[in-house]
Amino acid sequence: MKRFQRTVLVSILTMGLVLPLAAAGVKEQALTDDKLVIMTSFYIPYDFTSKIAGDYAQVTNLVPTGVEPHDWEPSIGDMRRLEKADVLVVNGAGMEAWLDKVLASLSNKNLTVVTLSDGVEFLAEGEHHHDHEDEHEADHDHEDEHEDEHDHEDEHDHGDIDPHTWLDIRNAIIGLGNIMKALKEIDPANASAYQANYDAWEAKFNALDQKYRAGLASVPKKTVVVSHAAFGYMTHAYGFEQEAIEGVFADSEPSPSRMAAIIDLVREHDITTIFTEQLVSPKVAATIARETGVKTAVLDPVEGLSQKDLDAGRDYLSVMEDNLAALIDALR
Identify the pLDDT of residue 250: 63
Residues of the chain predicted below pLDDT 70: 1-33, 126-159, 249-252
Identify the pLDDT of residue 251: 60
Residue 215: name the closest of 320, 297, 127 by CA: 320
Coil, helix or strand at residue 325:
helix
Answer whether 331's CB lies under 8 Å from 220's CB.
yes
Answer whether 279's CB lies under 8 Å from 64's CB.
no
% of the chain surpassing 70 pLDDT: 79
How long a stretch of residues is the chain? 332
List 107's β-bridge partners, or say none. none
Identify the pLDDT of residue 28: 39
Coil, helix or strand at residue 64:
coil
pLDDT in tens, 246-272: 887 666 688 999 999 999 999 999 999
Residue 129: name the closest of 2, 42, 20, 230 by CA: 230
User: How would you classify residue 78: left for phi > 0, otherwise alpha for psi between -120 and 50, otherwise beta?
Assistant: alpha
For the chain, which domains are there?
4-121 (3.40.50.1980), 138-164+206-331 (3.40.50.1980)
Tell me which DSSP letter residue 332 carries. -
Output the CA–CA distances (angstroms, integers) from residue 79 to 42, 85, 88, 198, in the order listed.
Answer: 15, 10, 12, 29
Gap between the Cα atoms of 218 and 332, Å rounded: 9
pTM over 0.75: yes
User: What does the H/E/C string look like for 259-288?
Assistant: HHHHHHHHHHCCCCEEEECCCCCCHHHHHH
Question: Mean pLDDT of all residues in the chain?
Answer: 85
